[in-house]
Structure 1
Amino acid sequence: MHQLFNSLKGLIKPKLCITDNIVFRLHYRTTVVILLAFSIMVTAQQYFGDPISCITKRNIPANLLDSYCWIHSTFSIENSWNGKVGVDIPYPGVDNSKEMNAFRVYHTYYQWVCFFLFIQAIFFYLPHLMWKTIEGGLIRNLILGLDKPIVKSEDLLMNIDLLSDYLRRSFTMHKKLFFGYILSEILNLINVLVQMLMVDTFLGGQFFNYGWSVLQWNNWSWPLNYNPMIQLFPRLTKCEFFQYGPSAGIERFDTMCLLPVNILNEKLYIFMWFWFYSLTIVSIITVVYRLLMISFLSTQTLAIFLNCRTLKRNKITNILQNGNIGDWFLLYLLSKNIDPLNFHDLMLHLEMKIKNKILSNHIENEMDKYNLHRLD
C-alpha cells in the first residue's frame, strides 16, 4: 500500500522557509494530500476489490454485465428504504422496479469520484500557488543564513547590517506582500465553501446534512438496517439490461449489483464532511485574526514578540510605528524564520538605523528652513 502514496511524500515534507501559517498549510498541504490519497484509494482495485459486481443472468457474461451497469449507472427504489429486510425487501433501497409506484433514484457519482477528488485537490492548491508567485522567494533571499543559531561573528554582523539596511530603505514598500497574503487566505476560505457546495451538488444535495444525519443515527445494531450512509452510498443497487431474445424480441433483465466501492466512499465522505466543516471554522477565525492585525498595533507587536521573547515590546512598537502593515508582515515572516537571538540583534540594528534616518531627515528639514529664512 505504501507504494501508492510515495508520490505524495513531497507535499508533506517540512519546508525550511516558512511564508505562511498552519491554517494555510492545512489547505494546500494536508487537504491536498488527503484528497489525492482518497483518489488513489478508490481506484486501487487490488486492495479494495472490484468496484461493482452484478448477479449474472442466463448467458450474459459477468464482466459484460458489470461493465454495462458501471457505465450506465444503477438505481435504488426510493419507497423501499425503510422496509423490513428479508420480509418486505431484500435490501434497503432494493425492490421490484416493475411496480407503478417504484420511483427510481439513479446513482452515477461513483464513476467520477476519483476524478472529482483530483480536481478538488487542484483547487485547494491554487491559492498557495498564487501566494507563492506574489512572494517570489523574498523571505528565503532575505534570511542570509541568519536562521542558523551559530554563525561566524564577522558574517553575522555583516548579514545583520545588510538586512537591516535593506529593511530601513524599503520601509513602507511591502503593502502588496501583505494584501497578497490576505487575498490568498480569503481565497482559501471561499474555496472550501465552494468545494462544499460542489460536493453537495455532486452527491445530489445530500452532503451538507450528511454528517449531522450520521451523528443523529443511533441504530447501528444490524448492518442491513436503513441508515444515512447506506442511502447516500448504497452497497446493493439495481440495474436493467436489455438484449434481443431468440425471437428477435427485446428482453429485459432486472438484476442486483453489489457496490464494494461504496463501503470506502461512505467513510471517505464522512471524513471529508468533518474535515471541510472544521477547515471552514478555522479559516473564518484566521480571516478575523488578520482583520485584528490591520486594526491594532498591539496585536502586531504581540505576534512578533511571541517569535522573539528576548526583544522588548516597546522596541518592536517603536519600529512598527514608523512603517505600515506591510512592514509588520515582512518582519513577522522574518521572525518565524530567523533564529530568535539573531532576530533580536537585527531589530536593534533596524531601530537604530530608523532613528538615525529620522534624525537625519529632521536636520535636513531644519537646514532647509534656515536657508529659506536667510534668502528671505
Structure 2
Amino acid sequence: MVLLELLSGLSGLVKVKHHVDIDSAVFKLHYRITAPMLFCFCLLVTANSLIGDPINCVHDDNPRLKTKVVNTYCWIHTTFTLPKYMHRGYGRGTGVAYPGVGPHDSSDAKVHHAYYQWVPFVLFLQGLMFYTPHWLWKTWEGCKLGSIVMGLSQPVMNKDERREKIHLLAEYLHASIHYHNFYAIKFFLCELLNLVNSVFNMWFMNKFLGGMFFTYGLDVLSFTETNQEERTDPMIVLFPRVTKCSFNMYGPSGTIESHDLMCVLALNIINEKIYVFLWFWFVILSSVSFLALLYRLLVFCIPAIRSGLLQKRARLRYKTGLEAIGKKLQVGDFFLLYLLSKNVELISFSSLMEELSTRLARRPVHPDLEVTASPPSSSERFHLMSQSA
C-alpha cells in the first residue's frame, strides 16, 4: 500500500493531455515515459517489504556476532566475489558453493561490489536528467503557444467568433514573421539534449557497473540461447546474488579474529531485471531520438519538406498559396505554424493558412509594415486607376 501511494505521486508526470502540445512524440518518450519509469524503479529498489532485507549474511553461532551488526557492516563496507570461481561449476564435489564464492587467500583477485548502495540515488538522478530538457523547453517556451491559440482548439464555435480569432491570429503571425527563429533553435537544442541524455546515460551506467553494461543485454540474450550448464548467467556475474564478506573483530584475548561470511543479496533479483530492461530501452530510445533529430534537421534545412508538411496539416487542395508561404517563411515561422497545427482544430487551421497565404502574397513582408492597415476603398482604387491611366 505504501508503494502504491508513492507511485500515485508520479501520476502528474504522465498526463495524457496538457493544455497545449508544445513538443513531439519522441520528446514525450523522455519526460513522460523514461523519467517516471526511472523514478518508479528508484522506489521499487527501496521497497524492502517486497524482498525482505536487502542483505543477509550467514555466520557461525558465536554469541558475540550479532546478525544486525554483521549485515550492516557488510552492506556498508561492500561484499566481494572471486573471479576464479565465477565461470566454474558449483555444487557438491566442486569445492565451489556458488558462482564467485569459494575458499580464498590474500593473493586471490577479488571483485568488490558497492554499486547496490548507490542504485536508488543513481536511478533518481537519471530520472531528473531525463525530465530536465522538458523543464528547460517549458521554461523557454513561456506559454507562448497557449497564449496565441485563443481557444481555436475547440471544434464547435460560433462562426463569427471563429472568423474573428483567425483574423487576429493571422495578423499576429504576419506582423511577427521572421521573429521566431530563436524559438525553433531552443526547441532543437532541447531535442539535442534528449539525444545526449540517452547516450550519456548508457555511458554513465557502463562506468557505474564496472564496464559491463554496454554488452549486458546482448550477453543475456546469448545466455538464453546456449546451454546454461556451459556458461555462467551474465546477470549473476554483474549482479551476484550470493557474495562473500570478511568481518574482523577482537577475540577474548585481544587478538583479531577474521570471520569469512557468505551473504545473500536479495535486492539483486530486482536490480538485474531493471538493468536488463534499461539496456533495451536506452538502445531503442537513443536510436529513435537520433532519427527524430535527423528528421528535424531535414525539415529545418529543406523548404519543400516544410511546405509539404503544412499542406498535409492544413489539408489544402491547392498548393499555390502554400508555395508563397514556403518562400517567405523562415524556420521559426514554420515551426510555430507546425505547433499551431497540432493544437488548432482542422477547419480553423485551414482557414488560418488560407488567410495567411493571402496576406503574404498580397504585399511584401517588412518589420515596419503596419499590419492593421485596411485595404484601399473603392474611391481610392478609382483614384489610383485614373492616375495610372
With structure 1 as the length reference, what TM-score do the two structures score?
A: 0.91
Are 2:79 and 1:85 equivalent residues in the alignment?
no
Note closer, same or farther for the CA distance 1:195–1:110 as it changes in structure 2 (3 Å cut): same
- Report the alpha carbon displacement of residue 286 of structure 1 after superposing the two structures with TM: 1.0
How far apart, CA to CA, are the structure 2 residues paired with 1:9 and 1:311? 42
- Report the alpha carbon displacement of residue 128 of structure 1 after superposing the two structures with TM: 1.5
2:306 to 259, 282, 300: 300
Equivalent positions of 1:280-295 (< 5 A) are 280-295=286-301
Look up the match of 1:158. Answer: 164
Note closer, same or farther for the CA distance 1:141–1:359 as it changes in structure 2 (3 Å cut): closer
Conserved in 1, the CA contact under 8 Å of 2:304 and 2:326?
no
Look up the match of 2:75. Answer: 70
- Report the alpha carbon displacement of residue 223 of structure 1 after superposing the two structures with TM: 9.5
Look up the match of 1:320. Answer: 326
Equivalent positions of 1:321-336 (< 5 A) are 321-336=327-342
DSSP 3-state at the match of 1:150: coil
How far apart, CA to CA, are the structure 2 residues paired with 1:146 and 1:314? 25
Q: Deviations over 1:141-169 (max 9, x none)?
A: 11100001011122111111110000000
How far apart, CA to CA, are the structure 2 residues paired with 1:133 and 1:259? 43
Equivalent positions of 1:1-376 (< 5 A) are 1-14=3-16, 15-57=18-60, 58-59=62-63, 60-86=65-91, 87-88=93-94, 89-98=96-105, 100=107, 102-218=108-224, 226-310=232-316, 312-358=318-364
Q: Deviations over 1:293-321 (max 9, x none)?
A: 12212211232233332454443332131
DSSP 3-state at the match of 1:50: coil
Note closer, same or farther for the CA distance 1:247–1:293 as it changes in structure 2 (3 Å cut): same
Q: What is the one-letter code of the residue matched to 1:165?
A: E
After superposition, the CA RMSD in angstroms is 1.9
How far apart, CA to CA, are the structure 2 residues paired with 1:70 and 1:304? 59
Q: Name stretches of at least 5 consecutive residues in structure 2 with no aligned partner.
A: 370-389
Q: Name stretches of at least 5 consecutive residues in structure 1 with no aligned partner.
A: 362-376
How far apart, CA to CA, are the structure 2 residues paired with 1:207 and 1:125? 23
How far apart, CA to CA, are the structure 2 residues paired with 1:52 and 1:305? 61
With structure 2 as the length reference, what TM-score do the two structures score?
A: 0.88
- Report the alpha carbon displacement of residue 359 of structure 1 after superposing the two structures with TM: 9.4
- Report the alpha carbon displacement of residue 352 of structure 1 after superposing the two structures with TM: 1.8
Note closer, same or farther for the CA distance 1:220–1:262 as it changes in structure 2 (3 Å cut): farther
Q: What is the one-letter code of the residue matched to 2:9?
A: S
Note closer, same or farther for the CA distance 1:34–1:26 as it changes in structure 2 (3 Å cut): same
How far apart, CA to CA, are the structure 2 residues paired with 1:47 and 1:297? 56
What is the aligned length? 360
How far apart, CA to CA, are the structure 1 residues paired with 2:342 and 2:220? 41
Stretch deviating more after TM superposition (210-219 or 232-241): 210-219
Look up the match of 1:364. Answer: none
How far apart, CA to CA, are the structure 1 residues paired with 2:21 and 2:234? 42
Conserved in 1, the CA contact under 8 Å of 2:152 and 2:345?
yes
Note closer, same or farther for the CA distance 1:189–1:349 as it changes in structure 2 (3 Å cut): same
Look up the match of 1:366. Answer: none
Q: Deviations over 1:147-204 (max 9, x none)?
A: 0101112211111111000000000110001111111111111111111111111000
